[in-house]
Amino acid sequence: MSRIRVLCRHCGHVVVPGDAIDLLIWSDEPDPEPSYYSFRCTTCALRTVMLLDEPQLQLLLAHGARVRRYGAVRRQPSPSPALPPPQPGRPPLTHDDLLDLHLLLEQPDWWDHLLAAGEGRPRGAPGGQVS
Ligand SMILES: [Zn+2]
């Protein structure tokens, strides 16, 4: 199996199997959007999502990355509701956060990951454990 060196947002450079990388390709031609690649780090298990350019696309395809298309959701004619303002002490929600959540929800053990992400926070605090 082909392996490739990628940059984990937590660990730095790591080596992952080529087929462990998802290529998220925008498939709605009249309304272009960026494409991304995504992988789960073999060291820390966190998922990293990065913008994808054409040379990276060709390289990752050659290493066996999987292509996934997105873009089926049509924009509403009315403006989207504004995101809620960030809570004090917390960073604002970004498009990368939403994409991470989308990918997480496709995993069969997504609930366990969410619970693990909330560990260490006081019960009842925003983002804390729910039982
Ligand atoms: Zn990592």
Q: What is the pLDDT along the chain (131 residues), one digit of tens a residue?
A: 799 999 998 999 999 999 999 998 877 666 667 889 999 999 999 999 999 888 999 999 999 999 988 765 555 555 555 666 667 787 777 778 888 888 888 888 888 887 787 765 544 444 444 44
Q: Report pLDDT for 82.
A: 64
Q: Which residues surround ligand 1, an ion (CB under 5 A)?
A: 8, 10-11, 41, 43-44
4 vs 58: CA distance, rounded Å: 13
**What's the whole-model pTM score?**
0.53
Q: How far is the CA of 50 from the centre of ligand 1 (A)?
A: 14
- Coil, strand or helix: which one is 20? helix
Q: What domain range is 31 assigned to?
A: 3-71
Is residue 28 assigned to a domain?
A: yes
Is residue 116 assigned to a domain?
A: no
Q: How far is the CA of 102 from the centre of ligand 1 (A)?
A: 19
Q: Give the number of domains in the chain.
A: 1
36 contacts 24 by C-beta, under 8 angstroms: yes
Is residue 96 assigned to a domain?
A: no
Is residue 43 assigned to a domain?
A: yes
Is residue 102 assigned to a domain?
A: no
